[in-house]
Amino acid sequence: MSGIRDNGGVSLYRDEGVVLRTQKLGEADRIVTLLTRRTGLVRAVGKGVRRTKSRFGARLEPFSHVDLQLYTGRTLDVITQAETVRAYGESIVGDYSRYTAATAMLETAEKIVVVEKDPALRQFLLLIGALRTLGEGSHDSRLVLDAYLLRSLAVAGYAPALNECAKCGTRGEHRSFAVHAGGSVCTVCRPHGATHPAAQTLQLMLALLGGDWPAADASEERHRNECSGLVAAYLQWHLENGIRSLRLVERS
């Protein structure tokens, strides 16, 4: 792996990552969970970061994009340096809808990548792209969140079927949607419990998945609501234990 060098028996490496979560450890330390560019999901100890004099404690907060130096520990790696690349938190924590959307993104990133130290570059790029877009405030926060969730699922191999029947593969825009079947389904395959979203809702999901922002921005509120509900149900179905913070996302 690039960036690793041996320093008297201690492996040092550099990487950059987004802080997903922090947990207290002992009196002054924190366990910091990050999604990194090269190493994937990393859980590392930030020593002394809860002390006010800590050199980099404030940089290791959720939503921060940081450049790091770490060494490989026996159980957890240890962070020895942290420099801020971009503090997305500044533009996110002051706005409730951005904050709840970003919180759901961080939780999803951790649960969708799952395995530690398994490179997940596309998930990392999706996450920093979504946090940047959210911070800019150029699109509705819920649309940014739903676009992120759909694309993150797609990268993980769980893209919902939207242009074909999830069961038989018949092409076309089918009007029924079944979370447990994998997306839209034709009238022949439609299982018990399938819903019947508006055609515009499925088109919105396609626009978000494909990054068609002009189409997504032009969508109506009721279709956004229906889309958010379907995306949330679909995500919860695919991820073990679900995403708790999705409950906080405002659904007007």
* Binding flag, residue 60, Zn ion (CB under 5 A): no
Q: How far is the CB of 175 from Zn ion (least distance, A)?
A: 12
What is the C-alpha to C-alpha distance for residues 122 and 13, in angstroms, rounded to an integer? 21
Residues 170 and 183 sit within 8 Å (Cβ to Cβ): no
Residues 232 and 246 sit within 8 Å (Cβ to Cβ): yes
Structural element, H or E, at residue 64: strand 64-71
Residues 91 and 12 sit within 8 Å (Cβ to Cβ): no
Binding to Zn ion by CB under 5 A, coded x per residue (else -) over 211-240, reads ------------------------------
| Member of 114, 121, 168, 218 binding Zn ion (CB under 5 A) | 168
What is the C-alpha to C-alpha distance for residues 18 and 39, in angstroms, rounded to an integer? 12
What is the C-alpha to C-alpha distance for residues 149 and 123, in angstroms, rounded to an integer? 11
* Binding flag, residue 173, Zn ion (CB under 5 A): no
* Binding flag, residue 166, Zn ion (CB under 5 A): no
Residues 56 and 31 sit within 8 Å (Cβ to Cβ): no
* Binding flag, residue 186, Zn ion (CB under 5 A): yes
Interface of this chain with Zn ion, residues 73 to 132, rule: CB under 5 A: none
| Member of 167, 206, 216, 226 binding Zn ion (CB under 5 A) | 167
| Member of 104, 165, 235, 246 binding Zn ion (CB under 5 A) | 165
Q: How far is the CB of 234 from Zn ion (least distance, A)?
A: 18
* Binding flag, residue 189, Zn ion (CB under 5 A): yes
Closest Cα partner for 134 from 106, 154, 158?
A: 106
Q: How far is the CB of 116 from Zn ion (least distance, A)?
A: 38
Interface residues with Zn ion (CB under 5 A)? 165, 167-168, 186, 189
